[in-house]
Amino acid sequence: MLETISAREIDRYIFNRNYLLVDVRQPADYRKMHIRGAVCIPREYLLERIRGLGKTIPILYCDRGGLSMQAARELQEHGYRAVSVVGGIQAYRGRYLERDSR
């Protein structure tokens, strides 16, 4: 069963060292807007980079939730635990949203 959290729940995990917030969008989208503390690992590189996370559980988000759900399923199929954010960054209304000011 795929683990999910709502965008409302993200703030609880941002500073928890057991979890890592991962933006699976492209770097240009990440630069425009992301959640503070998130790292950008585009979905196509996620599987090869996940090994470097150790026991840290990735919380994946994308624009609206579909891509992160696919990525979480793929990781799960390879034996990793991953959590997907329902609704993606578009549903996030927390205080840690960072936008490019240019």
Domain positions in the chain are 3-99
Residues of the chain with pLDDT under 50: none
pLDDT confidence of residue 1: 86
Task: List Cβ<8 Å contacts ≥24 apart for 71-78.
Answer: 71/24, 71/43, 71/46, 72/2, 72/3, 73/2, 74/46, 74/47, 75/46, 75/47, 75/50, 76/2, 78/47, 78/50
| This prediction's pTM | 0.94
Which CATH homologous superfamily contains domain 3-99? Rhodanese-like domain (3.40.250.10)
